[in-house]
Structures are given as C-alpha cells and as structure tokens.
Amino acid sequence: MIELHQTQYPGTENKPKRAIFVGLDFGTAYTKVVIAGASDSFAIKLRPELSGIDTYLQPGVLTISNNGVYQLTSGREQDSYVDNLKLALIQQPDSSSARINAAVFLACVLQKARKRFMEEQTGIFGNYHLVWHLNIGLPAANYEDEALKNAFHRIAELGWMLSALDRPLTTKDEGFLKGILQPPQSATDPVLDTARDRFIHTERVGILPEVQAVTVSYAASRSRQNCLHLLVDVGAGTLDINLFGLVDLGTEHRYVCHAAKVLPLGAVYLAQHRLKQFKERGLIINTSDADQFSTLASLPTRGELSRQFNIAEDDIECMDGFFLNQVGTNICDTINDVRRKYGNKVFPFFNRPLPTFLGGGGAEDPAYIGRVKKVSKDTTTKTQKGLAINKLPMPERLQMPGLSANHFHRLAVAYGLTHDIVNLGDFINLGNGSVEYEIQAPSYRENFIAKELT
C-alpha cells in the first residue's frame, strides 16, 4: 500500500533512475492529471467511484471537514468549502489566501494522483528511483505576466512540498502555511525538515502556455501543418481563443501566438444565462430544477432541457442568442484583428479554410459547436474560406481506460503537460512587432470538418 506522502517505492534508493512527468491541468472548474514515463502516458482516475469522463475530473473545490481537515470532494456536500481557486489566483496572485488555497488544493490532487499512479504502475516502475517533474498550464493571454507566472510556479512547487508531508493539512496550519509562502530556501519550519528528501527541485517545476500543451499531439502528428491555426477551448468557466502559427525551423519548431483571449463565457456561464431565461418565463418551479444549471455535474444540453421542460429546442436556441453572440463576436474579432495586423504574412492562402480545433468540455455541446460553425459561415467570403473544424488527434501512447478517442480533448492539456519543456519548442507571444516565418500551403486531405461536427 502506497501512502499519500510517498514519492518513491521502498528500497529503490540505489536503483536506476527514471524520469516521471506529471501534467496537471489546473482548471477553473475541473482539474485533470496525466502522468508519463518514457514511452507511455497514464490518465489518472481522480474520482474512481464514478464512470466515464467524470472519473478523470476533479472539481476545483477545496472542502473543510468538521474537524478542520482540508480535503477533496466529489461535490459540494460539505458545509464549508472554497472554490474559484484558479480565478482567485489569477486575479490576485499576491494574495496569501489565494496562494494557500491553491497550494493546498494542488497538494491534495497530487497526493491522490501520485498514489494511484504508483499503485497501478508498480509492475513498470517499481524497480526504479523516480525523478519527478511537474508541469502546470497557464492561459496564453496571461503568459507574459511574469508576476503571475512566478506565482503559479511557486504554488506548484509549494503544492508538491505539502503533498510530501506525512500528515493532513488543517485550518490550524494557517500560520505554518503563510510562513512557507516564501521561496524554499527561507522555509525552515521543522515540519518540512522531515519531508525534504521527497521535495521536487525547483528546476523540475514548469509553467507552460495551455495552448501549447493542448496542441502537442497535433504538432507531433502527420496532419500537422506549418500555418496559422485557431484554437477555441470551451471550459466550464472560461472560453479561451487562441490564434497561433506552427513554425518548423528544421531542427526545432515554434508556436507563435498572434492573439489570445480568456473570457468568462464557459459552459457554466451559459447554464447561468439559461437559468435566468427559464426563470423569466416561469419554467423553473423548484430548487432541484435550478440546481442542474449551477452544479459541477455535466450541464444539460438543449435536447435534454427540451424534454424535461417541454419547450422546443428552437426556443432554447433563441434564449441562447445573446450569450452565444458574444462567443461568436469574440472569435470573429480575434480573427479579423490578426488579419488586419499581419495580412498576407499569416493569411496567405485565401482559398483555404483556417484549421480550427475545439477543445474543453464545451467542445461536445451543440450550442458551442453550432456557434463556431456559424463563425465559419460568417468568415466565408471571396477572400476567406471560413474554418476547417476538427478534433485534436489522440496520441497512441496515452492510456485512458473507459474512454474513447472522442474524450481526448478533455485531457489534452494534461497530456501535453507531461512533455519535457525543453522538447516542446519555443513559445513566442506577439504583442507587437512583426512576424517573419515561412508558411506552407496546407494539405487538407485529413483536415476537413470532422464527421461528428457536421
């Protein structure tokens, strides 16, 4: 039995070393983890009591038990909890409470993920001394914010440190936690001294742009093209829009990010918009009806709402109009802004559609799919050919039992984060200035609109 604080198998101090990469997708509403060795990657079931994709999704809620112990949960059944962990850190990276809450949450996630990985993969890794690496993603729109990037790096490092302690963390540890928010060399608390051999070296903690992580499998695939791409990642809380170019420089490649937006237009906000619309029409009559619009469970589709509330799907589509117009407008504005700024340097092939990927939980929602397809129609002119919408290719090395390839987009960021940063290529965020690189004419034999999106 592996204990939560363990980072090594017993008796492996002098065994051959093996690098292990933890890709932790710290999401607004859900956190996902993939752990990789040299040849295989393993999606981690953070909630094994559930089924399907839900078993891999950990709600971003830090609960506090009756005796003050911090812990994870499958929902919000406890009276005391803290949520909005990632957003709070992004909005106030210097806040000690935001940092502590995020670090304690990450510690709990890391304990659960590491224990499950080590127990399930003993046959493969049990005779090695594990050299742990930890990578966490950051929205591309925030990636040039050095203070925020440093805050995420410190919280990731601190989360690992706390995960290596051999006792649970409680509300009584507030003073201790505030004391170790400083860099590790100034953290001299005796509680840490007993666990220092299990800490991770600061150089093995990495922060990567999420757009780079989510497209790793595509960039390494045969369908990769050196041209401009659009990524629309629909999370529970946020909508991420990224226009980036993939560039092949021979021995290395680059991600050139021309535009990035992070907007509060994710699936939960769409659900809240629908709840308001339903209430105004007198369709919500009790608390249980309203709960399904705001819980962290899978949010209902138009079809499911239509059957439950006996209302036509076309009427729900009309209710969605104002909200989804914001989604479409922001995508179109991003494309048009880059076109105006760079012109033919990044849009040289007017007779070709723009390769587009849908990611995140909302990638399966017909409302978001329909809006992106409308953007494709709206951007089809004499000089533009709309969007070539496709799903991210699933890598063969990723093991995610119980799921099909259609679920990969939910784990794509976590998978991408399992790669060694030095092998991912350069990420260039273009705020201003020019762009100089060769864009090849795309081959669309494998990049027409995916069947499931038609």
Confidence band for 220, pLDDT divided at 50, 70 and 90: confident
What is the pLDDT averaged over residues 82-105?
A: 93
For residues 283 and 402, the model is more confident at 402
Domain that holds residue 167: 17-209
Cα 137 to chain centroid, rounded: 7
All residues at 6 or more sequence positions from 304 whose CB lies less than 8 Å from its CB, including other chains = none
Burial of 195 (0-12, 13-18, 19+ CB in 10 A): middle
Domain final residue, candidates 209, 232, 258: 209
Pairing of strands 387-390, 354-359: parallel
Structure-model confidence comparison of residues 47 and 346, the more confident one = 47
With 0-12 / 13-18 / 19 or more C-beta atoms within 10 angstroms meaning exposed / middle / buried, residue 12 is middle
Q: Please give the average per-residue pLDDT across 371-379, as a whole number.
A: 93
pLDDT confidence of residue 95:
93
SS3 content of the chain, % helix, strand, coil (to 5): 40, 20, 40
User: 84 vs 431, which has greater pLDDT?
Assistant: 84
Distances (CA, A) of 242 to 325, 342, 419: 18, 15, 21
Does residue 345 contact residue 435 with C-beta atoms inside 8 Å? Answer: yes
Mean pLDDT confidence for 66-92: 82
Read off the pLDDT of residues 144-191 as tens digits, 9 standing for 90 and up: 899 999 999 999 999 999 999 999 999 998 888 888 886 654 455 677
Average pLDDT (345-359) is 79
Q: Spell out the residues 6+ positions from residue 234 whose beta carbon is closer than 8 angstroms to its own.
A: 266, 267, 358, 359, 360, 361, 362, 363, 365, 368
Averaged pLDDT, 241-256: 80
> Given 185, 209, 233, which residue is the final one in a domain?
209
Regarding predicted confidence, which is higher, 254 or 86? 86
Higher pLDDT: 212 or 24? It is 24
In a domain, 396, yes or no: no
User: Looking at the predicted structure, is the pLDDT value of residue 275 above 50?
Assistant: yes
Mean pLDDT (whole number) for 215-237 = 87
Same domain assignment for residues 158 and 235 = no
User: For residue 74, what pLDDT band results from cuts at 50, 70 and 90?
Assistant: low
Which pLDDT score, from 0 to 100, does residue 13 have?
93
46 with 84, same domain?
Answer: yes
Which of 107, 346, 54 shows the shortest CA–CA distance to 229? 346
**CA distance readout (Å), 87 to 101, 142, 148, 275, 410:** 12, 12, 12, 23, 19
The answer to whether 80 and 63 are in contact (CB under 8 A) is yes
Q: Do 243 and 368 belong to one domain?
A: yes
Measure the CA–CA gap between 10 and 40, rounded to whole angstroms.
23
Taking the C-alpha atoms of residue 119 and residue 103, their distance in angstroms, rounded to an integer, is 24
Same domain for 261 and 162: no
Mean pLDDT of the chain: 86
320: alpha, beta or left? (left if phi > 0; alpha if psi -120 to 50): alpha
Indicate the pLDDT class of residue 23, thresholds 50, 70 and 90. very high
CB 163 within 8 A of CB 192: no
CATH number for the domain spanning 443: value is 3.30.420
Output 220 or 373, whichever has higher pLDDT. Answer: 373
User: What's the structural domain count of the chain?
Assistant: 2
Q: Quick one: CA dihedral 132, 30, 77, 54, positive or negative?
A: negative
Tell whether 182 and 245 lie within a shared domain: no
Count of H-run helices and E-run strands, the chain = 14, 16
Domain assignment of residue 430, yes or no? yes
> Given the structure tokens 């090695």, which residue do they identify?
128
Pick the closest to residue 359 from 320, 408, 319 (CA basis).
408
Mean pLDDT of 382-411: 89
Q: Does a structural domain hold residue 125?
A: yes
The b-or-e profile of 419-435 (16+ CB within 10 A means b, else e) is bebeebbebbbbeeeeb
CB atoms within 10 A of CB 279: 14
- State the pLDDT at residue 226: 84
Q: Which residue would you say has higher pLDDT here, 436 or 134?
A: 134
Position 132 in a domain: yes
Lookup: tokens for 296: 């962290």
170 plus 306 within the same structural domain = no
Does residue 284 form part of some domain? no
User: Does residue 246 sit in the same domain as residue 113?
Assistant: no
Residue 327 within any structural domain of the chain? yes
Residue 226 Ramachandran class (φ > 0 left, ψ -120 to 50 alpha, else beta): beta
Averaged over 360-380, what is the pLDDT? 90
114 Cβ contact partners less than 8 Å away, ≥ 6 residues apart: 2, 4, 6, 7, 22, 35, 163
Q: How far apart are CA 251 and CA 425, in angstroms?
A: 10
Tell me what the mean pLDDT of segment 43-58 comes to.
94
Task: Name the 3-class secondary structure at 19.
Answer: strand
Instruction: Establish if 281 belongs to a structural domain.
Output: no
Contact 416, 22 (CB under 8 A): no
pLDDT of residue 448: 37
pLDDT at 428: 82
pLDDT value of position 193: 73
282 occurs within a structural domain: no
Rounded Cα distance, 227 and 311, in Å: 44
109 to each of 46, 136, 164, how far by Cα in Å? Answer: 8, 13, 12
pLDDT at 150: 92
Residues 21 and 63 in one domain: yes
Residues 94 and 118 in one domain: yes
Residue type, 454: T
In this structure, of 109-113, 248-252, 338-342, the range with the lowest mean pLDDT score is: 248-252
Handedness of CA 74, 278, 302, 287 (dihedral sign): positive
In angstroms, the CA 1 to CA 400 distance is 23
Q: What six digits make up the tokens of 79?
A: 């009276």
* C-alpha–C-alpha distance, residues 432 and 129, integer Å: 46
Q: Are residues 231 and 171 in the same domain?
A: no
* Portion of the chain with pLDDT greater than 90, in percent: 52
pLDDT at 362 > cutoff 50: yes
Q: 28 and 74: one domain? A: yes
Q: Are residues 241 and 345 in the same domain?
A: yes
Q: Which of the residue ranges 86-90, 140-144, 185-189 would you say has the lowest mean pLDDT? A: 185-189
Residues 6 or more apart in contact with residue 400 via CB below 8 angstroms: 43, 56, 407, 408, 411
| pLDDT, position 114 | 98
